[in-house]
């Protein structure tokens, strides 16, 4: 099973999306995980036409499978 980083993004007036990306190694570096969070937050803000400051970051997790249930998006 491949390992993925996952993190949800949400805001009060929009639908939550769980983002995921394949990890480059079993334990991603801080740089890799931070870039994933930045990319997810930017994508969510652009998709919903809201400022990035209005995006609420969910819990970041690594070593996960591809998320199922709810709205998901691979970046």
pLDDT at res. 2? 74
Name the residue range of residue 56's domain.
4-74
Q: How far apart are CA 4 and CA 8, in angstroms?
A: 13
Specify whether the backbone of 70 is left (phi greater than 0), alpha (psi in -120 to 50) or beta.
left
Total of domains in the chain: 1
Task: Provide mean pLDDT across the span 31-54.
Answer: 97
- Give this prediction's pTM: 0.93
pLDDT at res. 1? 54
Beta strands in 1-75 (DSSP E): 4-10, 17-22, 56-57, 61-64, 71-74
Residue among 54, 24, 23 nearest 41 (CA)? 54
């Amino acid at each position: 099973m491949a390992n993925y980083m996952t993190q949800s993004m949400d805001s009060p007036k929009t639908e939550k999306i769980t983002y995921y990306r394949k990890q480059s190694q079993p334990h991603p570096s801080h740089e890799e995980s931070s870039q994933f969070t930045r990319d997810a937050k930017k994508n969510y803000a652009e998709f919903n036409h809201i400022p990035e400051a209005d995006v609420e970051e969910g819990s970041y997790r690594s070593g996960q499978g591809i998320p199922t249930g709810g709205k998901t998006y691979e970046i």
